[in-house]
Structure 1
Amino acid sequence: MPLTPLPHHPAAPPTLSDSDRNALHDLYVRGTPENTLRAYERDLIYISAWKALRAAHTGLGAALRWPEQEEVALPFILDHTRDLREAAKSDPAKQVAEALINRGLRKSLVCPAPSTLDRRIASWRAFHRMKNLESPFDAPLIKQARAKGRKAAARSPAPKSAHPITKEVLEDLLATCDGAMRGVRDRALLMLGWASGGRRRSEIAQLMHENVSLKEFKTKGLIWLQMVESKTTSKGETPRLVLKGRAAQALYHWVEAATITEGGLFRAISKSGRPLPRPLSPDAVYQIVRYRLKLAGYPDGFASPHGLRSGFLTQAALDGAPIQAAMRLSLHRSMAQAQKYYDDVDVAENPAADLLG
């Protein structure tokens, strides 16, 4: 008589001492990018609030459980794959959504973007992995519901910047940077952010003096950048990036003028025009780009800091640079993602698009 297979149970987390538990926690923190940690924190706050509010309708308890139940995972997907504007006032999903809006955790009753839901589910699954538990989102029914919901809510992705900051736009921004300390800093920031491959604002803000090598500037006109990590690379795996020409000159001038010998590369500047020890935040980088666009005469919302990234790749495509060479600097991990910028240029330059004259 064959033995009846034992039902599967998630592996129990190993018994750890307090010191080992603290060491494991520290390992997770040190081994996870800061942007990911911030996303985990936001998602945990949102998920906890959603379940606490939904508990009145599910009767499954307000606190998160480990592992979480499929009876909770499925409503989470269903609540976030519908446009709730036309839902009845008594609809539990609408009531929960309105409460989340009042708490500032949700923007509207419109169905969230599939990417937003994907990220929150990914965080929830990551929390289970950290506890050595299986996630309810791996169950066949839950996976199928998520796939159907993704198709039902599919939409054209909105660009992170309304327009790319191509070389022409960048030149307009640089023309607004005078010889004052703030202008010297902004010129260096914009040129580094663009010419080094289109750096994200978080990457610009995180650059330290020790990440920059000026040894070859006077002999070869080169400045080397060694970022600790990026969105697509882990600590210790980010290749060196190079600045040359005007971009290298602008950065060298800023470092010399501000007498930066350690700490953050780009600093806040006092009202009197003196560089401060405090490094810029990612939001400060956003404000600088916005300010320079306004000075250059561009309308509000014309571009965001991500326009430096999209503009670099768009210009590379316009100038006929091989996509592999552009990706070597932009550090795109996905060829398909980088190809989108090249495709837009190719379509615009395609002779078949001008058949009507």
Structure 2
Amino acid sequence: MAPMSLQIAPSHLSSAEEEALAALYRRGTPENTLRAWERDLAYITAWKDAAYGAALDWPEQETVALRFVLDHAADLTDGAGPARDAAEALIAAGLRRSLACPAPSTLDRRIASWRAFHRMKNIASPFDAPLLRQARGRARRAAARPRARKSENPITREVLEAMLATCDHSNRGLRDGAALMLGWASGGRRRSEIVALNRDDIDDGDFSETGLLRIRLLQTKTTGPEAAPRLPLKGRAARAVMAWIAAAKIGKGPLFRPVSQADRPLPRRLSPDGLAILLRHRLELAGYPPGFASAHGLRAGFLTQAAFDGAPLQAAMQLSLHRSLNETTPLSSTNSSLQPECPRSRFDAYRGCLSMRCAFVASASCC
């Protein structure tokens, strides 16, 4: 949390105690959450300055919190007044995209961050007041909209196979194939999870005998290092990962790395944006139109394929690490015209792996 200009400790602590507490937050909070907090703090601070010409107060006043909700619960395109003036200032600062009503999820996230900042300072949040809770609920319903898909289409097995067919035996081809297969067959990993993997997160102790790898995810959106899941990977996906490790001579450090124009693996870590570019390139080579799918299509495609194959959704969730069925519904719901004909043996393959805590891995290794 060093980049944030927020004193996160209660005022009665000493400087040394404040620094120790800040360091504890940095170590114990996922990087994605820290980045979201940083963005939200910048937005909230700029909004308060634009709306009131003042800095944030701790605790913040309920009237200020209520205006924040009201300012973000309406479409300001055709409006006028203080709310629009503040929104235009945020747009000019590059912190807001348009005068349209923000998505309810965006408002909820910013309020959640604001509440978290109050907790860090050990003070009550104005958003816990009954009036604010009621206003938030009404704002959420008033601005309700269909949940936007993070990927236009899921990357199902058919799409993945077409992408893999474009991967040759060069270092770039080996890396791309390994990243795509690992990301898909290990449960539909987020791009941040794929690029965060290190060599020592790949347990290949049983690979020579069983062809099985175990992938340790030290940091996910829903788990931390203290509860790092170990996910199975076998078949073509496991062999692809080991082939990339051998070709790139990776003994330690980042698992997935940039590859130079001379086809030489570089020592630094592949970025999440780099993985997105990789995926778009392979989709293009496979003949799919621009914008067909994003990196999140790997995650959506895993669960969509599970649904197509008749696999128990709860079993697939053991690999995807979704916590609730509600989270998976938008991912596994797609155009039925995309559904392939799948033999009954696929379903049996899923069930046969339940004893390994990976009902999907046999078929996922499709791979």
TM-score with structure 2 setting the length: 0.87
Are 1:98 and 2:95 counterparts?
no
Deviation track 1:127-169 (CA, whole Å, cap 9, x = no partner) reads: 0000000001111111111111110000001101010000000
Deviations 1:57-104 (A, max 9, x none): xxxxx101100001110111111010011103xx11111111111111
Q: 1:30 aligns with which of 27, 31, 54?
A: 27
Closer/same/farther in 2, CA of residues 219 and 348 from structure 1, 3 Å limit: closer
1:63 aligns with 2:55: yes
Is 1:130 matched up with 2:120? yes
Cα 1:336–1:29 change in 2 (3 A) is same
Alignment check: 8 A CA contact 1:176 1:295 kept:
yes
Which residue of the partner structure matches residue 235 of structure 2? 245
In structure 2, the partner of 1:353 is: none
- Does the 8 Å CA contact 1:85/1:110 hold for their aligned counterparts? yes
Distance in 2 (CA, whole Å) between partners of 1:326 and 1:241 is 12
Tell me which residue corresponds to 1:17: 14
Aligned residues of 1:229 and 1:236 also touching (Cα < 8 A)? no
* Correspondent of 2:64 among 69, 72, 76: 72
Distance of 2:263 and 2:121 partners within structure 1:
50
Contact 1:84 1:109 in 2 (8 A): yes
CA distance in 2 between counterparts of 1:340 and 1:17 reads: 48
Cα deviation per residue 1:303-333 (whole Å; 9 max; x = unaligned)?
0000000000000111111112101110001
Q: Identity of aligned pairs, percent? A: 61
Q: Displacement of 1:193 after TM fit?
A: 0.3
TM-score (norm 1): 0.90
Once the two structures are TM-superposed, the CA of residue 339 in structure 1 deviates from its matched residue by: 4.0
**Residue of structure 2 in register with 1:49 after alignment:** 46
Cα shift readout 1:206-230 (whole Å, capped 9, x = no counterpart)? 0011100112111101111011121
Which residue number corresponds to residue 137 of structure 2?
Answer: 147
Q: How does 1:281-320 map to 2 (within 5 A)?
A: 281-320=271-310
Q: Distance in 2 between matches of 1:31 and 1:84?
A: 39
The answer to whether the 8 A contact 2:10-2:120 is kept is no
| Residue number among 263, 266, 277 corresponding to 2:267 in the alignment | 277
Mapped partners of 1:120, 1:156: distance in 2: 20
For structure 1, list consecutive stretches of 5 or more residues without a partner in the other structure: 1-11, 57-61, 350-357
Q: Secondary structure at the match of 1:303?
A: coil
Structure 2 residue corresponding to 1:230, chosen from 210, 216, 220: 220
Higher mean Cα deviation, 337-346 or 173-182?
337-346
Question: Per the alignment, in what secondary structure is the counterpart of residue 224 of structure 1?
Answer: strand
By how many angstroms is 1:234 displaced? 2.0
Which residue pairs with 2:195 in the alignment? 205
Matched, 1:81 2:73: yes
Is residue 168 of structure 2 the alignment partner of residue 171 of structure 1?
no
Pair member with larger Rg: 1
Q: Offset of 1:15 from its aligned partner?
A: 2.6
C-alpha RMSD over aligned residues: 1.7
Aligned length: 331
2:201–2:216 CA contact under 8 A, matched in 1: yes
Residue 335 of structure 2 corresponds to residue 338 of structure 1: no
Q: Tell me how far apart the structure 1 counterparts of residues 229 and 163 of structure 2 sit (CA, whole Å).
A: 29
Shift of 1:335: 2.0
Unaligned runs of 5+ in 2: 1-8, 340-367
